[in-house]
A = this chain, B = another copy of it.
């Protein structure tokens, strides 16, 4: 396997399976002299972890980060920051029934085909538990760029969506509800819908919108490493993501140029922002915003046909504790990956901008 490192200047390399000893990672390239806010890091971990509310999985994982290096007297020293997150609640017996079978729309089958071996305990490396390390990385990345504001929120669950532009939302309401939807009336509908889905042992997809504010002009490299291309890759690397659009997105493909062009003000800002804060791959100082589509979680608490390693289709009853809808817990992951991208380009910009 390759590809366990994200970033070029601020690099996060992660390891860990859902039911191994620990997850963890190394953050290389963090500037020296940053006084870290450890409470902020742990808060981000709490936002991601299971068991926060009745609508998410009830697995209990402490998700306590232990930092092992790179920090001295509370400040970053510039050396790599090693960290681990012990797996305290492994319960591997829960997963014995999937040892010899491949769950639909999970990675079980392709892992075994590719590697000839698979840690079958709860998804192993393909489990979304892997994202815990990303949240640590993102929480440190945000402290490299404290002036840049990153707010993600749930913008739709199934067919229910926020019917307002993000400018009309109050981001301070995001954490006020279990859904992480700042529009409270919509949040309530979403919550009720998820509860209903959960009763059915089913799951549902959703979308997350992310807004990045106060970005300096000039972040991004204009050809293959366009800022939005890397944001897109970052989002698509999150488990269950099926799509990414920024600025006008797919709607923009239906528009005419005369409607879509963002006319300038005299100070270089633009009157509209269908571009989504990025021109030619480079931030233009306007808000960057994008939307990420998540498929419904594949694990159902229902009977389902699965393939076993004898090439037979058998029925299997899904059980255990899984999320009926992943988007509320994915909000901090979207923010973390966003922070990693923006901090990476912020550092890169020191080299290449005038």
Give A contacts to B, CB under 8 Å. Answer: 1-6, 9, 11, 13-17, 20-26, 28-29, 31-33, 66-70, 72, 75, 77-82, 84, 102, 104-107, 109-111, 113-119, 124-126, 130, 156, 158-159, 197, 200, 202-207, 217-218, 221-226, 228-230, 232-234, 236-237, 239, 242-250, 252-268, 270, 274-276, 279-284, 293-300, 302, 304-307, 311-313, 347-354
Nearest B residue (CB) for A80: B15
In the complex, how many angstroms separate the beta carbon of A132 from the nearest chain B beta carbon?
A: 13
A280-B106 contact, Cβ under 8 Å, with A3-B221, A204-B257, A264-B305: yes
Are the C-beta atoms of B75 and A117 separated by less than 8 Å?
yes
A32 CB contacts on chain B under 8 angstroms: 1, 115-117, 352, 354
- Which of A21, A124, A204, A222 has the most C-beta atoms of chain B within 10 angstroms of its own C-beta? A222
Question: For the complex formed by this chain, how many copies does it contain in all?
Answer: 4
Which one of B67, B84, B254, B274 contacts A158 once the chains associate, using CB atoms below 8 Å? B254
Q: A16 vs B67: C-alpha distance in the bound complex, in angstroms? A: 10
Cβ–Cβ < 8 Å partners of A4 in chain B = 26, 28, 79-80, 223-224
- A44 CB, nearest partner CB in chain B, Å: 19
Within the complex, which residue of B244, B256, B267, B305 is in contact with A243, where a contact is CB–CB below 8 Å?
Answer: B244
Q: How far is the CA of A226 from the CA of B4 in the complex (A)?
A: 10
Decide if A257 touches B79 in the complex (CB within 8 Å).
Answer: no
- Supply 6 further A-B pairs (C-beta < 8 A) apart from A32-B117, A242-B248, A245-B293: A1-B222, A4-B26, A17-B79, A115-B354, A243-B246, A351-B351
- Ordered by A's residue number, 30 sampled pairs between the chains whose C-beta atoms are within 8 Å are A1-B352, A2-B28, A4-B28, A4-B79, A13-B26, A15-B28, A17-B77, A22-B69, A32-B117, A68-B84, A77-B118, A77-B119, A78-B117, A105-B261, A113-B268, A114-B349, A115-B353, A126-B280, A200-B258, A204-B255, A224-B233, A225-B237, A229-B237, A242-B248, A242-B252, A243-B243, A245-B245, A257-B300, A259-B296, A261-B304
The complex places the Cα of A14 from the Cα of B69 at a distance, in Å, of 10
Residues of B within 8 Å of A33, CB to CB, are: 115-117, 354
Query: A42 to B226, alpha carbons, bound, how many Å?
Result: 28
Within the complex, what minimum Cβ distance (angstroms) separates A14 from chain B?
A: 7
Given contacts A115-B353, A243-B246, A248-B242, contact A5 B21 (CB under 8 A): no
Q: Which residues in B have their C-beta under 8 angstroms from that of A300?
A: 257-258, 261
